[in-house]
Structure 1
Amino acid sequence: MIVINNFEEYKAHEGKVLGVSDWHKIDQEQINRFADATLDHQWIHTDEQRAKTEGPFNSTIAHGYLTLSLIPYLWKQIADVRNVKMEINYGIENFKFGQAVPVNGEVQLQATVKSITNLRGTVKAIINAKLLIKDQAKPAYQGDVIFLYHFN
């Protein structure tokens, strides 16, 4: 894990891969809980038998938005940004889903610091996030997440 204490330390990582998270297994229970929370019970995610017989993946798959929602959890395994009064999830840009994550698939976040800008005391960090799937060449997605930090 990388520790970042201020703008200057963050800026030193610009253009570099910051690191990767641990592997996280997405099981059917997590998929079902996400379906309940989002009211998205599409059969390809929740109906194991139908997905196995009728679906293109021979199993259920994680919701794309479930995989996106893992970014904060996985990001905290890569970077420990300290000395902040406030951290804001500001936006996401240019995300493309490349491959579905099957039930019981394991995913890992790879984070690259695309740019760091000091906007009169607010630090804007654009992080390229790539969600890797264990034993797969193509990522589940890739795109940019934007964080705003107010350092002490």
Structure 2
Amino acid sequence: MSAADRLIEHYRPLIGSEIHVGPWLEITQERIDRFAEVTGDLQWIHTDPERAAAESPYRATIAHGYLTLSLLPYLTESNHPDFFDKSYPGMRLRVNYGLDRLRFPAPVLVGSKIRAHTLVKGTEKIGEAVQFTYLITVEIDGGEKPACVAEFLARVYP
């Protein structure tokens, strides 16, 4: 049995299960501003607290949806030094393959705390690689709707 086949067998009982809940992270204005600077998205709803307080329906600045998305490696702890060997035994590298579905159901107001829940939707062999489909839901502390729901694809190679 190949390393890819062993990995698929290892994950088979986990399909449909939540495998991780990440740490809470507070979204600060400094983080929002730095993301705005890097991406060039300087819309006032993100970067101008006074104007947002007066004119925004949220009465505060909000994080960029793509900021929330870009935090998924931190929120899922998938870049932790121990994560790879623990999660993908017998494999040598993982690549982000993309997203099949992405939504931002609720805004993340400045000062909010968010965290990610990861569920395994499926695995399949693609050549020598194993493709994982994860459903990642970013929760807002105290919120009724999630900040982000992403169907994330990762490929892992022996």
State TM-score, norm by structure 2. 0.86
Matching residue of 2:122: 115
Aligned to 1:80: 83
User: What are structure 2's unaligned runs of at least 5 residues?
Assistant: 1-5
Q: What is the aligned-residue RMSD (CA, Å)?
A: 1.8
Cα deviation for residue 10 of structure 1 reads 2.7
Identity of aligned residues (%): 35
Alignment of 1:5-24 (within 5 A): 6-24=7-25
CA distance in 2, matches of 1:30, 1:84: 34
Cα distance in structure 1, aligned partners of 2:34 and 2:11 = 35
Q: Distance in 1 between matches of 2:117 and 2:47?
A: 28
CA distance, structure 2, for counterparts of residue 119 and residue 93 of structure 1: 16
Q: Does 1:129 align with 2:136?
A: yes
Within the alignment, does 1:48 sit opposite 2:68 as a pair?
no
3-state DSSP of counterpart to 1:126: strand
Between Structure 1 and Structure 2, the one with more helix by share is: 2
Partner SS for 1:89: strand
Q: Offset at 1:51?
A: 0.4
- Give me the whole-angstrom Cα distance separating, in 2, the residues matched to 1:74 and 1:12: 24
Q: 1:7 to 1:81 in 2, by over 3 A?
A: farther
What amino acid is the match of 2:140?
I
Give the structure 1 partner of residue 3 of structure 2: none
Name 1:142's counterpart in structure 2.
Answer: 149
Deviation at 1:12, TM superposition (A): 2.9
How far, CA to CA, are the matches of 1:8 and 1:33 in structure 2? 42
> Which segments of 5 or more consecutive residues in structure 1 lack a partner in the other structure?
none
In 1: Cα distance, 2:77 partner to 2:130 partner: 18
Q: Distance in 1 between matches of 2:150 and 2:114?
A: 15
Of 71-80 and 52-61, more deviation after overlay is shown by 71-80
Aligned residues: 147
Change (3 A) 1:140 1:26: same
Separation of aligned partners in 1, 2:10 and 2:76: 17
Between structures 1 and 2, the one with greater strand share: 1
Q: How far 1:80 moved relative to its partner?
A: 1.9
